[in-house]
Amino acid sequence: MSNIESVLNETRVFPPPEAMVKQANVSGMAAYKAMCDEAERDFEGFWARLARENLLWSKPFTKTLDESGAPFYKWFHDGELNASYNCLDRHLKTQPDKVAIIFEADDGKVTKVTYKELYHRVCQFANGLKSLGIKQGERVLVYMPMSIEAVVAMQACARIGATHSVVFGGFSAKSLQERIIDAGAIAVICADGQFRGGKEIPLKPAVDEALAMGGCESIRDVVVYKRSGSPVAMNAPRDKWWHDVTQGQAQDCEPTWVNAEHPLFILYTSGSTGKPKGVQHSTGGFLLQAMLTMKWVFDYKPTDVFWCTADVGWVTGHTYIAYGPLAVGATEVVFEGVPTYPDAGRFWKMIQDHKVNVFYTAPTAIRSLIKAGGDLPKKYDLSSLRILGTVGEPINPEAWMWYHETVGGSRCPIVDTWWQTETGGHMITPLPGVTPLVPGSCTLALPGIMAAIVDETGQDVPNGQGGLLVIKRPWPSMIRTIWGDPERYKKSYFPEELGGKLYLAGDGSLRDKETGYFRIVGRIDDVLNVSGHRLGTMEIESALVANSRLVAEAAVVGRPDDMTGEAVVAFVVLKGHRPTGDEAKALAKELRDWVAKEIGPIAKPKEIRFGDNLPKTRSGKIMRRLLRAIARGEEITQDISTLENPAILDQLKQTL
Ligand code: 7RM
């Protein structure tokens, strides 16, 4: 832990603007503290009150938290509800004609749907899914572009009690196949293709390829939404067009009431082994945190236009596109394209055009937009903005300052929201009308979220000292289990070494001595964060080694990168001789493309180096610390006396 220390010494403090405090849903530090105190005093009562005030229950719960099966916690579990009903039906009387989604396509075409229209589209598609025989509890894989239909697909699954598992459109056929098999999915909902940055990217062929790989016999139906119109193979009777499935279906669909613990979705995320983890979320607890954080952190107001730029394939797109904004009745922007097309002013133009009030994006996007056109925001009217947000990785203070000044006109609080796929919603974050901001800090935990820093034995460490970020009490939107692998859930998140009761986030962190503010230092496990995307080093290693024609052995490490946060560096031992020169360059390209095919382009190593061997101890363990130093171009100061083969270090230091 000694290497976890504050690398920053940030002293700038930005108190919330007076006008923001006055109108905020959580107004002032005293209001925040009062909620924290309530949660301390009466933990279950606090959550029960919020769950009753925010969610619509078809059958009210009588028990708030069941800890009898810890760490498999249950929340509100004798209550019944439906997530889609909570997002759509509840608005039908109060605001049927309010715009729910403003969709902007890659080419700039704008389509709007009202709450009533969205409700009908979800119901029609839900009826279509029912007509295919899809039943409560069955898993449906969603592989869709950013679109209204992606939201409709997820909401329709929720409506009939099917559990969706969304796979990011950038993942490969192989990743798709693995997830279909692991989830035991019975149907795939996809599109023919998608448009990003002026280019058409096919999706349906990857589904065909995945299903042809074998092991996917559980899939009965493939529903294809026609987005690009390019010809695709339709394999009858398995494949059906979305428009045929909805054709003639009724526009109302009685929601399937499910238990609060019913799995709303499974979302795969990287861990420290080669196999991605199917993070299983509940219905009631998940939706509660989605709603609360829309109100507390994004200070939701009925007149707001909200825009979260994440893809629905990531958890951020689940909580802050598909569910949270709809549950509170917001108008939200959904964007198909990329921030740099047709130019790096796209985000700013869209904020201007749609009069966006609350804007939520990733530090990596901010950094790339500074580089591509740091002055571009000044060309647009961004006066509608009132709150800015970030998520996915620590934000460097320079990028924070630019975001604050150039995008936010020095008037908008920035909520730097720390959370994870596993936490379901924001956990540690400033509140716009409460928290004095310090660039690069996610500040304080939300009421009811008992975050702390401990050492390797689970003991609290004093403020100012680095350690492991843990959550001491369960919370409603927490992961319920890893799909099909409860043992791994226990081991990964409630390790015995820490006493088995603390949720281990996997991040190193420290709290400021005076303010108690949290600062996230980075992952403590073999997980990299490339452009805010979680990638397991083991996953990339397995992908490389799966190329059995070429690769004998591979080790993957991360290295800091100005633009993407971290970059992937792979050290590879080939089956034949160690290549050099043009041959090495050609083979590196082949392997990078191979990884893109195995996992997806986001996992492509930025750099590959070849050696006759990897640095290993005499017991055969790869010395990753050494490889990290080499990848960073650092002088090797570690003791290499235990190294079996010191000579190969010189080989690995050479770049191609
Ligand atoms: C929402 C999401 C989770 C990991 C997490 C951290 C890192 C996320 C922040 C952050 C510093 C932040 N889910 N992380 N947000 N680090 N400050 N505000 O990103 O499952 O894909 O990743 O991302 O390491 O453990 S995720």
Nearest CA residue ID for atom 22, ligand 1: 420
Residue 203 Cβ inside 6 Å of ligand 1? The answer reads: no
Find out whether 4 and 467 touch, Cβ atoms under 8 Å: yes
How do residues 556-609 score in pLDDT, each as one tens digit?
Answer: 999 999 999 999 999 999 998 999 999 999 999 999 999 999 999 999 999 999
Which atom of ligand 1 is nearest the CA belonging to 421?
Answer: 20
Residue 392 Cβ inside 6 Å of ligand 1? The answer reads: yes
Residue 391 Cβ inside 6 Å of ligand 1? The answer reads: yes
Q: Which residue has the higher pLDDT, 202 or 524?
A: 202
Residue 507 Cβ inside 6 Å of ligand 1? The answer reads: yes
Q: How much is the pLDDT for 616?
A: 82
Range of weakest confidence among 245-249, 363-367, 492-496, 592-596? 363-367
Q: How much is the pLDDT for 167?
A: 97
* For range 5-26, the mean pLDDT: 83
DSSP secondary structure string for all residues of 259-309: ETTS--EEEEE--SSSSPEEEEE-SHHHHHHHHHHHHHTS---TT-EEEE-
Q: How far is the CA of 291 from the centre of ligand 1 (A)?
A: 20
How do residues 29-42 score in pLDDT, each as one tens digit?
Answer: 999 999 999 999 99
Rounded CA-CA distance 372/211 in Å is 40
DSSP secondary structure string for all residues of 108-173: S-EEEEEHHHHHHHHHHHHHHHHHTT--TT-EEEEE--SSHHHHHHHHHHHHHTPEEEE--TTS-H
Please, what is the average pLDDT of the chain?
95
Nearest CA residue ID for atom 3, ligand 1: 420
Residue 246 Cβ inside 6 Å of ligand 1? The answer reads: no
Q: How far is the CA of 38 from the centre of ligand 1 (A)?
A: 27
Find out whether 512 and 441 touch, Cβ atoms under 8 Å: yes
Residue 386 Cβ inside 6 Å of ligand 1? The answer reads: no
Nearest CA residue ID for atom 19, ligand 1: 392
Q: How far is the CA of 207 from the centre of ligand 1 (A)?
A: 29
Q: How far is the CA of 534 from the centre of ligand 1 (A)?
A: 8
Rounded CA-CA distance 401/414 in Å is 10
Residue 523 Cβ inside 6 Å of ligand 1? The answer reads: yes
Choose among 487, 491, 497: nearest CA to 459: 497
Q: How far is the CA of 160 from the centre of ligand 1 (A)?
A: 31
pLDDT tier at 4 (50, 70, 90 boundaries)?
very low
Residue 631 Cβ inside 6 Å of ligand 1? The answer reads: no
* For range 187-193, the mean pLDDT: 98
Residue 418 Cβ inside 6 Å of ligand 1? The answer reads: yes
Nearest CA residue ID for atom 16, ligand 1: 393
What is the length of the chain? Answer: 656
pLDDT tier at 7 (50, 70, 90 boundaries)?
very low
The rounded percent of the chain whose pLDDT value lies above 70 is: 98
How do residues 347-387 score in pLDDT, each as one tens digit?
Answer: 999 999 999 999 999 998 998 899 999 999 999 999 999 99
Residue with tokens 């770049």: 655
Q: How far is the CA of 281 from the centre of ligand 1 (A)?
A: 17
Q: How much is the pLDDT for 2?
A: 34
DSSP annotation of 617 reads: B
Which atom of ligand 1 is nearest the CA belonging to 523?
Answer: 24
Find out whether 407 and 387 touch, Cβ atoms under 8 Å: no
Instruction: Give yes or no for residue 8 having a pLDDT over 70.
Output: no
Q: How far is the CA of 66 from the centre of ligand 1 (A)?
A: 28
Tokens of 433: 């009308």
Q: How much is the pLDDT for 246?
A: 98
Q: How much is the pLDDT for 641?
A: 74
Q: How much is the pLDDT for 621?
A: 73
Q: How far is the CA of 522 from the centre of ligand 1 (A)?
A: 9
Range of weakest confidence among 436-445, 528-537, 610-619? 610-619
Please tell me the pTM assigned to this model: 0.93
Strand 74-75 and strand 65-66: the pairing is: antiparallel
Residue 420 Cβ inside 6 Å of ligand 1? The answer reads: yes
pLDDT tier at 503 (50, 70, 90 boundaries)?
very high
* For range 133-137, the mean pLDDT: 98
Rounded CA-CA distance 195/335 in Å is 11
Residue 416 Cβ inside 6 Å of ligand 1? The answer reads: yes
H runs (alpha helix) in 446-601: 486-493, 537-545, 581-598
Instruction: Give yes or no for residue 46 having a pLDDT over 70.
Output: yes
* For range 454-483, the mean pLDDT: 97
Instruction: Give yes or no for residue 3 having a pLDDT over 50.
Output: no
Q: How far is the CA of 462 from the centre of ligand 1 (A)?
A: 23
Residue 316 Cβ inside 6 Å of ligand 1? The answer reads: yes
Q: CB neighbours of 236 closer than 8 A, spacing ≥ 6?
A: none
Q: How far is the CA of 427 from the centre of ligand 1 (A)?
A: 10
Rounded CA-CA distance 525/493 in Å is 12
Instruction: Give yes or no for residue 521 having a pLDDT over 90.
Output: no
Which helix (H) or strand (E) segment holds residue 242: the answer is: helix 242-246
Q: How far is the CA of 639 from the centre of ligand 1 (A)?
A: 33
Which atom of ligand 1 is nearest the CA belonging to 505?
Answer: 25
The rounded percent of the chain whose pLDDT value lies above 90 is: 87
* For range 429-437, the mean pLDDT: 98
pLDDT tier at 274 (50, 70, 90 boundaries)?
confident
Strand 331-335 and strand 305-308: the pairing is: parallel
Which of 419, 468, 526, 527 has the most ligand 1 atoms within 8 A of CB, as the residue to mutate? Answer: 419
Q: How much is the pLDDT for 629?
A: 92
Q: How far is the CA of 529 from the centre of ligand 1 (A)?
A: 8
pLDDT tier at 9 (50, 70, 90 boundaries)?
low
Q: How far is the CA of 419 from the centre of ligand 1 (A)?
A: 5
